[in-house]
């Protein structure tokens, strides 16, 4: 049995007495695409937000890449190699696409602000390396034509890709994708899931994603974790989950 | 006609001085969504430190450097003692905190350096000189030049440096900025330090004109209408807002003053600001926040 990249152990979270997650445990193996599904309010976003430290669990613990923590801050999560995208567009909307992606490299900067501000050789070399890396990611996700556009002015689907590029450029071990295909039509969804799969296959980046469209999820994922009212009701391969009576009762059965 | 132009130019140049105060607010508001009422006290603190040092024989540039260090120290303390503990609290809480902070800074500065009125001579004479057909103050021209350099420097900082990218990232979306590893604590320290530097420059210019004393901290009240007109989130807005306030104050004083007995410039800017609040609440360059439903 290989060591999982991410493991949640008995994680619970409540907001002012309302339970969002109850004793949630699951693991994600390195290099896999894992989807969190469940009806609205099932706790999917809460789980994601706990992994990158936006929320703090009331109890339970998380092990990521051998580091064990009970609570973590977003900054620390970024340092450990956890990147994320956001459900609602959270791009730096006044900045160019390139600057958005460059900002994604923040945790990789080594030279100080002074050597950069005064264009010292070290700062210049690092700047050049960062730019090259950012440009590669723009090519990888086919957003180079939008390189200099202000992110906030781009079509929705492109913004979602810029969000992914900003997370991806830092070479995270794990990317959390919060509804990467929300609000897209079928073509856009297929395109986006193509990029997610391409990223996973080519770069080996582990993905933990939330998605409502069960068809897309079953297609894309190696593993599916089903939540209902903050509890895990299913966990396994898409086929196994699809045939799990408890899952069908809780969730899949309600799809019309 | 020349008289009109002269009044207009004089007003515009005076407006630059308002812009300078307003820019300090914009910097902090953009990065931390805090309306920093203490900007006026920071300005007073910087000017008072500078003038006290020069009176004790410290050379000009050294006094400036020490005053700047004090501003940076203030920024670090504010981040640690005020901003960090109050992270995530309401805007009103943060505003009240800066209101308190304003009195603390002014109080500490005066306790350490006294409450006397100090004359401050920057070596720039405040005398009218002829520019073409009109006369303008040499001091006003110098102040406008210094402000112009400052604004250009700030825009280079924001657009050409990696710190600038981080600053703009935080201004656009704090949560996303943290998720890519940008350190909010450092951003706040940097922004408050830069605002402190802007405050130092503004404090010296205002201090040279009006004397360095407690009332210097009240220039915040002059910056408020500038911010309402220009928008709280835009440096160009702060510049333009200052120019509009300066010019309209002078012209109103000239043409409306005699009709209602003068003293217009004390409140005219607020009338203008009220009109803007009714017609264009986000200001000229400000952004109207669209709440997600």
Q: What is the pLDDT of residue B283?
A: 84
Instruction: Answer yes or no: is B205 within a domain.
Output: yes
Instruction: Answer yes or no: is B26 within a domain.
Output: yes
Q: What is the pLDDT of residue A1?
A: 52
**Which residues does chain B have within 8 Å of residue A167's beta carbon, measured at their own beta carbons?**
179-180
pTM of the model: 0.86
User: Nearest-CA residue of chain A relative to B176?
Assistant: A90
Residue A255 CA, distance from chain mean position: 25
Q: What is the pLDDT of residue B115?
A: 87
CB contact under 8 A, B176 and A75: no
Instruction: Answer yes or no: is B172 within a domain.
Output: yes
Q: Enumerate domains of chain A plus CATH numbers.
A: 1-81+172-256 (3.40.50.300), 93-170 (no CATH)
Q: What are phi and psi of B113, to 5 degrees?
A: -125, 5
Q: What is the pLDDT of residue B163?
A: 87
Instruction: Answer yes or no: is B31 within a domain.
Output: yes
- The residues in B 254-273 lying below 8 A from A, measured between CB atoms, are none
- A135: number of Cβ within 10 Å: 16
Q: What is the pLDDT of residue B289?
A: 55
What token pair was written down for A135?
Answer: 């440009």
Structurally, chain B folds into a number of domains equal to 1
What is the span of the domain harbouring residue B164?
2-216
Q: What is the pLDDT of residue A203?
A: 93
Instruction: Answer yes or no: is B232 within a domain.
Output: no
**Which residues does chain A have within 8 Å of residue B179's beta carbon, measured at their own beta carbons?**
52, 74, 77-78, 83-84, 86, 167
Q: What is the pLDDT of residue B292?
A: 42
CB contact under 8 A, B162 and A83: no
Give me the residues of chain B with pLDDT under 50, please: 290-293
Q: What is the pLDDT of residue A256?
A: 44
User: Nearest-CA residue of chain A relative to B166?
Assistant: A103
Q: What is the spatial order of strands in the sheet that A18-29 belongs to?
A: A18-29, A4-15, A59-64, A67-69
DSSP letter (8 states) at residue A32? -
Q: What is the pLDDT of residue A160?
A: 93
> Pick from B157, B171, B180: which is nearest to A106 by CB?
B180
**Which residues does chain B have within 8 Å of residue A75's beta carbon, measured at their own beta carbons?**
178, 181-184
Instruction: Answer yes or no: is B22 within a domain.
Output: yes
> Pick from A94, A95, A104: which is nearest to B180 by CB?
A104
What token pair was written down for A178?
Answer: 């919060």
Instruction: Answer yes or no: is B224 within a domain.
Output: no
Q: What is the pLDDT of residue B167?
A: 92
Q: What is the pLDDT of residue B293?
A: 39
> Please, what are the averages of pLDDT over each run of 10 residues along chain A (256 residues)?
85 88 94 91 90 90 90 88 90 94 84 58 80 93 94 92 95 94 89 94 94 88 92 91 83 55
CB contact under 8 A, B176 and A90: yes
Instruction: Answer yes or no: is B90 within a domain.
Output: yes
């Amino acid at each position: 049995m290989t060591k999982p990249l991410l493991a949640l152990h008995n994680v619970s979270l409540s907001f002012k007495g309302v339970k969002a997650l109850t004793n949630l445990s699951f693991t994600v193996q390195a290099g896999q695409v894992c989807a969190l599904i469940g009806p609205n309010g099932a706790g999917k976003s809460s789980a994601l937000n706990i992994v990158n430290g936006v929320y703090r669990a009331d109890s339970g613990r998380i092990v990521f890449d051998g580091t064990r923590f009970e609570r973590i801050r977003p900054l620390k999560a970024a340092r450990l190699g956890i990147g994320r995208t956001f459900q609602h567009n959270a791009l730096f909307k006044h900045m160019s696409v390139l600057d958005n992606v460059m900002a994604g490299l923040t945790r990789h900067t080594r030279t100080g602000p002074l050597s950069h501000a005064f264009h010292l050789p070290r700062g210049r070399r690092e700047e050049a390396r960062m730019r090259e890396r950012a440009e590669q990611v723009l090519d990888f996700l086919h957003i180079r034509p939008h390189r200099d556009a202000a992110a906030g002015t781009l079509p929705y689907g492109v913004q979602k890709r810029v969000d992914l590029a900003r997370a991806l450029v830092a070479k995270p071990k794990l990317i959390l994708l919060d509804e990467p295909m929300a609000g897209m039509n079928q073509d856009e969804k297929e395109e986006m899931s193509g990029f997610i799969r391409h990223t996973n296959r080519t770069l080996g980046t582990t993905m933990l994603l939330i998605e409502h469209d069960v068809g897309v999820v079953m297609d894309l994922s190696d593993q599916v974790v089903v939540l209902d009212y903050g509890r895990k009701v299913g966990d396994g391969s898409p086929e196994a989950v699809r045939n799990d009576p408890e899952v069908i009762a809780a969730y899949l059965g309600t799809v019309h | 006609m020349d008289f009109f132009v002269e009044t207009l130019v004089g007003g515009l140049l005076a407006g630059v001085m308002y812009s300078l105060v307003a820019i300090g607010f914009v910097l902090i508001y953009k990065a931390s969504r805090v309306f920093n009422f203490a900007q006026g006290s920071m300005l007073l603190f910087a000017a008072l430190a500078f003038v006290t040092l020069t009176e004790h024989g410290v050379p000009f540039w050294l006094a400036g450097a020490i005053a700047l260090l004090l501003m940076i120290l203030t920024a670090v303390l504010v981040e640690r003692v005020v901003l960090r503990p109050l992270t995530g609290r309401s805007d009103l809480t943060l505003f009240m905190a800066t209101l308190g902070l304003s009195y603390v800074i002014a109080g500490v500065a005066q306790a350490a350096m006294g409450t006397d009125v100090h004359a401050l001579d920057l070596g720039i004479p405040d005398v009218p000189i002829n520019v073409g057909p009109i006369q303008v103050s040499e001091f006003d021209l110098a102040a406008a030049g210094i402000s112009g350099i400052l604004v250009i420097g700030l825009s280079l900082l924001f657009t050409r440096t990696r710190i600038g990218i981080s600053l703009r990232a935080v201004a656009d979306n704090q949560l996303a900025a943290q998720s890519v590893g940008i350190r909010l604590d450092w951003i706040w320290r940097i922004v408050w330090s830069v605002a402190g530097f802007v405050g130092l420059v503004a404090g010296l210019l205002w201090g040279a004109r009006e004397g360095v004393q407690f009332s210097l901290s009240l220039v915040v009240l002059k910056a408020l209408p500038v911010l309402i007109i220009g928008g709280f989130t835009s440096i160009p807005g702060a510049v333009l807002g200052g120019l509009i306030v300066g010019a309209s104050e002078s012209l109103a004083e000239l043409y409306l003053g005699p009709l209602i007995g003068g003293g217009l410039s004390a409140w005219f800017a607020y009338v203008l600001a009220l009109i803007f609040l009714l017609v264009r609440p986000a200001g000229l360059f400000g952004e109207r926040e669209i709440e997600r439903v």
